Structure formats: C-alpha cells, structure tokens
Chain A
C-alpha cells in the first residue's frame, strides 16, 4: 500500500465496509470449527473405545480441522501416555 493510498484511498472506506471485511475473515476461520459439531461426542467415544482395549487414564486427543476447496480434513491424534497395560480390560 502506498502512502497515498493509506492517506486518501483508505480513508474512503466506511466503518460498515470494514465491519463486512472483518466479519468475512473471522467467519471463514470459525466456520471450519462448526463444520464438525459432533467433536465433543466423538472425543468421548474415542476415549471409551480406547479404554475398552487398554487400561490407560491419561488419553490425550488432539484434533485439527482444515478445509480445502473440495476436501474437508479431520485429523485426530491420540496419545495414550506411558502406563499402558497391554492386557485389554474387557474381552468380549
């Protein structure tokens, strides 16, 4: 942006236009997170399933969501800590 634009060009932008632009940016970011509204339930289920096979307490689940043009990505990383008892607690 040139000094000229900063002084003259930009001063013509109204506060409503700024509001529109700021909203567009913040919502583009936030919508990615409402795209998987079931994340909390999914987390609980993952913990349950893991505890069915392993006797661990500190399960750490890290999720990352991203959106491409035609692809929704959901990455789930599960770490189960050190004290893993290999024996499954429930055998069905």
Chain B
C-alpha cells in the first residue's frame, strides 16, 4: 500500500510544483515506485517542470471520467523507470470532479505505487479539497514572507477537516517546507528566519530550500534541479527525500558565508 503525499500551500507561486517534481524524482531515484499527480486542474504545470509536456495524451480528468484507462494516461519519465506522471487537464471545468471519483483514483494508485505525490492547487477551494482528500501526509510549503505564512496557517487549519484519514479518526502527518530562503536577508533582519516560521505554524520542519537561481534554469530545461550535481537546492531536496524515507538528516548550513564558499568552490571544480 503506497503513501499519498500531498504538496500544498495557501498562497500560489510559492513553489509547490517545483517541490513536487523534485521530491518525486528524488524518491524514484532512491528506488521507489513513484507517481506524481498534477491536481491543479485547469493550470497544468508539473509537466513542464518534469520536462514531459510533449508526451501528454490523456489527463487525470479523462481517467476519472473513464474516457481512458489509468495506464493510458500515465507518462513514463525520461530518465527513471520508477517514475510516472499523471497530468492535470488544461481545459475542463474543475467543478465536474467529485470526491468519490478522486478517492477511487487515489486508492487505485496506492495499490500500484510506493509514493503518490499530489501537487495541489493553491488556496482552499474545491481543488484543494480533492488534493487533500486521500492524503496520508501533507507537506505545507511556505516562503518566509508574511502573506505566504499567513495563508499556510489557514490551510493547516482545514487539512484535517477535509481529509478522509482525519475523518476516520487518524491524523494526517503534517510537515512544513520553507522555500526560497535568503540567508543574507535573514542575517540583515529583513526576512523571517526558519525558526520564526516554524514557531508560528507550530508544525515540524522537514526541509529548507534556499533561494537558488539553478532552480529557474532547471525549470527552463525541464530537468528537476535534484538531478543537477553541486546545487545547494538540489542537496536540500535530496535531504527532504531522505527525511521522507525516515532517515535523520542534518539540516544544511545556509549561513551566508557558507553559501559564498560554496559558490567559490563551484568556480574551481
């Protein structure tokens, strides 16, 4: 029976799809059977980050409406035999989805895969409800900015109300990922520190991803940064993958001088 990990946030544009893609790739490269499902209906994105946008024939709505069989819609990753991808639909009205169909799909995927990474839409509307419905674990993404932290707090407050697992009396495991941290700004007192965010959200931290230009270039290429050697964000993602697998990994030292040294080192290697 697979584990469903829903990647979510309150605010949009905080990096959910990028994180979903990287964690899916990381878990697959660690030898697990993984499927990444884009649940951001109407706003397909995960396909480009994974570099699989040219292979889409059917999408997740087609599967749920039984216009095709599940394996027909699943797209195989270019590099990993363990990784599959199920795209969001681009055009259809998201209100046609119903909870029964969503839950049926998730249950089906749990039988075939070790990890199901669900990329949730932002916000707390129906799309979010569908994405969180079958979750065993929720990763809440926030950048260290007030609007993002505030909206993350709202989402955390309603996860248990919307998930099947919580309604059955169990708890959805919740963890926070802080994305796009700028250690230099934190140092200057112009950005919320890691501790500030975790104190406010009152949830365990599973990863901190520093702001890294290589994430942008990787997305440009459709090659998740976790597969790039010597990137600080790639290392951060690898660490999160290890923690998801239950290993106790130390957090990266992101203090400004350390990053500076890392950049210098990269020039000489």
Contact = CB atoms under 8 A, between A and B. Distances in A.
Interface SS majority for chain B:
helix
Contacts, number: 44
Contacts of A17: 189
Interface string A13-52: 0111101101110110011001101100000000000000
Contacts of B200: 20, 23-24, 27
Q: How large is the interface on A (under 10, 10 to 19, 20 to 34, 35 or more residues)?
A: 10 to 19
Interface in B124-164: 145-146, 149-150, 153-154, 157-158, 161-162
Contacts of A23: 146, 149-150, 200
Interface SS majority for chain A:
helix
Given A20-B196, A22-B146, A30 B190 contact: no
Interface of A: 14-17, 19-20, 22-24, 26-27, 30-31, 34-35, 37-38
26 contacts: A15-B190, A16-B186, A16-B189, A16-B190, A16-B191, A16-B192, A16-B193, A17-B189, A19-B145, A19-B192, A20-B192, A20-B196, A20-B200, A22-B146, A23-B146, A23-B150, A24-B200, A26-B150, A27-B153, A30-B150, A30-B153, A31-B157, A34-B157, A35-B157, A37-B161, A38-B161
